[in-house]
Every structure is written in structure tokens, then in C-alpha cells.
Structure 1
Amino acid sequence: MEDLIQTIVLYALPVIFAITLHEAAHGYVARVFGDPTATLAGRVTLNPTKHIDPVGTIAVPLGILLMSKLFGGPPLLFGWAKPVPVDFGRLKNPKRDMRWVALAGPAANLFMAVLWAMSVRLLLEAGAGRESFWFQMAVIGIQINLVLMALNLLPLLPLDGGRILFSLLPNQLAWQYGRLEPYGMMILIVLLVTGSLWMFLEPFMALGRWIVQLFL
């Protein structure tokens, strides 16, 4: 039990900040491109309580951590926050600007991974051991943000990668692709359950790791 509590404490801050900044970034960029919906809803904020979903942000990650402790193996954290409301029709150029709003979330996660990497470097230079609490938290922060970045870049609607792909496709193809959105989360769950999700995440993870290494 003590080991589980320590693990929860180590993961809590990186998970909360990863999800919070991801969602706030969507709302901020939407405002820049003309849609104030998230701002008016109070969602362009770093206050975690505005973004936390009781199930996706707390219950599911805690459940995964508990299962990993009971059955062994590294935890593959999976979770979500309350989606930031974006009215794409209010963007200056809805189809074009959609990609920047969508890209803002994964970009925020990459930015946080870099900050955690810089923290690792500073801790090592300060003489902190690799078993120290803050060093372990920084490493976890890198891992969580790279996974969230990669996961959200998958070209599946309603994920951010799906929005980006939709904005890049010609109108007719985009419309046909958009019809697949109701099945996107079902496809994601199948990939997760069958263990093939990592095969699709790895190219994005590899790119993220390469960028993070520049700051270590």
C-alpha cells in the first residue's frame, strides 16, 4: 500500500499538468483564431479543477496504476480531461484554423516534456541521485507527456490528429473522413485491448524522444 501511495504521488503532478495545459492550449489558440467559447467558459486557465474529469483524469489512471501494481509491469497511463469547448464555425477560417487549434494540445505536451527534460538535467548537475523523488517525477513527466502527445496525434477523429488530418484533406475527402468520427474511440479501444496501439504510437514517440534528447 505504501508503494502504491508513493507511485500515485509521483504521477499525480505530471498527469494533472499534462492534461491541464493540453486543454488550456486548445482554448487559447481557438481564441487567437477568433473563437472565444473556451475563454467565456473559463477553460483557458491553468487551474486543474476546471479541466479535471472525475472518471478520465482520476478514476481511470488510478485504476491502471493499481492494476500495474497488482499484476506487475510498467503502467501505460490512459486518461482524459473534460474537452475544451471549441466552436469551429466561429474560427476565422474554420477548416484551416482547425489544424492549429488541434495541434496546440500535443504541442503543449511536447513543450512540457522538454521542461521536464531540462529539470532532469538541472537535477543531475545539482547532484541529485537517480533514485531521488524529484528525479523520478521528472522522468515520469517526460514519459507521460510524450505518450499523451503521441496518442493525440493519431489520425483518428475525434483525436487531435484526426482534426489535423481533416483540415489537410480536400473538402470532399474531408467530409467522407469526418463520417468515421463516431467510430474513432471504438477503434482506439480495440487497438489498446489488442496491444497494437504502441505500434502506431512509436513513430510519434520516437520523434518526441529525439527532441527531448536535445535538452538532456
Structure 2
Amino acid sequence: MGLDLKSIIPFAIAILYALTIHEFFHAWTANKLGDPTARMQGRLTLNPLAHLDPLGVLCFIFAHFGWGKPVPVNPAYFKHPRRDDVLVSAAGPVSNFVSALLFGLIFQILYKITGVSSDLFEVLKQLIMINLILAIFNCIPLYPLDGSHVLKGFLPRQMLPGYENICRYSPFILLGIILMGNFAHIPILSYVIWPPTVFFANLFMTFMIN
């Protein structure tokens, strides 16, 4: 991909926003539920620099996947550890999904009132797409993604030891799936993520206009 600023800038804005809001709401929810760990480490902030992982950002740019700096969570502070871990884990993807909806509404309102310039359209489109991709990707129930914590919170207790054993290998499974898409051209993740991303992006950008 060439270094085209007109495409890089909207992408960079979307990545910074999506990662920041995702990690912020993990930290905010944990703090509300009694865990001050993230707040005490300076993560309860909307400053993107507090949430960026340099390697994760580079991977976003060059390998089309990446990550933010994980928010530290100590379940020992929670009154209801299983329930509260689910809520903290779900907060990140939910914040991205709601953000995509809000940016879609902004696009539709501007479209109806004043029209949308090509530059602003590209920024809003990237904000919608990246937030949806991050939300859907993190809902995959493979550790260390948020979906694994949500699934763990709903599993019967007798199934937890077996699931935790699977979680030991999940990062390698996830990495293998990603590498298969990038180097072996077997885009398993794309088959999972892209259809719902396109569906919700089209829905959020058109339901008022139509």
C-alpha cells in the first residue's frame, strides 16, 4: 500500500479513536465496579497515548490486524467476580459498536442537511468500519479476546477447568488464523468478521436516508 495521506489520515484517526474508546470503557467499567487498578495506572483517560501499544499499531498498518495496550483488571476487587468480569470485558466491544452507530447517525444527519464532502465521508466511513471490525473481532471467544471472558462468565462452573485449559492454546490458535490470512491467503477471519461488518455499516449509514 502506498503512502497516500488522503487514505492514511482517516485510517489513523479511526484507529486512534476506536482503540482509545475501547480501552477507556474497559477501565471505566472496572473502576465503576470497584477495581481501581486501571485508574491508578493512568488508564482511565481518553488520551490515546495511554492506550496505544506501538507494536500493535504497527501491525494495524502493515499486517491489517493489531491491538491496544490491555487494561489491567484485578477481579479480586469485584463483588461479583464472574458477572463483573463479563461486564468489563463486554464494555470495550459495546463502546465500539455504539460509536459506529453514532458516527452513522452523524453521517446521515449531515447528508440530509448539508451533504457530506468526500474527505469527511472517508473519515466517517473509516470510523464506522474500524469500530465495527474491532467490536466484532473482540467478540470472538478465543483468549485473550474479550469474547473469551464473556463466554467464560456464562459457562457452567464444571466446564471452567476444561475451558481454561483450552485458553492456554487460544493465543496460538488466534495467531495461526491471522497468519493464515496474511501469508497463506486463507482469510478465515475475514469470513467471520467481514459479513457482519458490512451489514451493520450499511445499516448505520442508510436507515434514515432510505
**TM-score calculated relative to the size of structure 1:** 0.85
Residue equivalent to 2:48: 48
* Greater mean alpha carbon deviation, residues 102-111 or residues 77-86: 77-86
Count of equivalent residues: 202
Residue equivalent to 1:200: 192
1:93 aligned onto 2:85: no
- C-alpha deviation, 1:198, in angstroms: 2.5
SS in 2 for 1:16: helix
> Aligned equivalents of 1:206 and 1:138: distance in 2?
14
Flag the 1:62–1:202 CA change in 2: closer, same or farther, 3 A. closer
Flag the 1:142–1:38 CA change in 2: closer, same or farther, 3 A. same
1:9 aligned onto 2:4: no
RMSD across aligned positions (CA): 2.2
Structure 2: gaps of 5 or more residues:
181-185
How do 1:115-194 and structure 2 match up within 5 A? 115-129=102-116, 132-192=118-178, 193=180, 194=186
Counterpart amino acid of 2:9? V
- C-alpha deviation, 1:156, in angstroms: 0.9
Contact 2:60/2:67 (8 A) holds in 1: no
1:37 aligned onto 2:37: yes
Residue equivalent to 2:62: 63
Flag the 1:84–1:206 CA change in 2: closer, same or farther, 3 A. same
- C-alpha deviation, 1:204, in angstroms: 5.0
Runs of 4+ in 1 over 6 A off after TM superposition: none
Counterpart amino acid of 1:149? A
Residue equivalent to 1:73: none
Contact 1:167/1:174 (8 A) holds in 2: no
Counterpart amino acid of 2:11? Y
Flag the 1:156–1:40 CA change in 2: closer, same or farther, 3 A. same
Post-superposition CA distance 1:51-73 (Å, at most 9, x none): 0111102x112214xxxxxxxxx
Identity %: 34
Flag the 1:210–1:91 CA change in 2: closer, same or farther, 3 A. farther
> Aligned equivalents of 1:208 and 1:176: distance in 2?
34
Counterpart amino acid of 1:8? I
> Aligned equivalents of 2:2 and 2:198: distance in 1?
34
Flag the 1:53–1:31 CA change in 2: closer, same or farther, 3 A. same
Contact 2:27/2:71 (8 A) holds in 1: yes
Structure 1: gaps of 5 or more residues:
65-76
Counterpart amino acid of 2:155? L
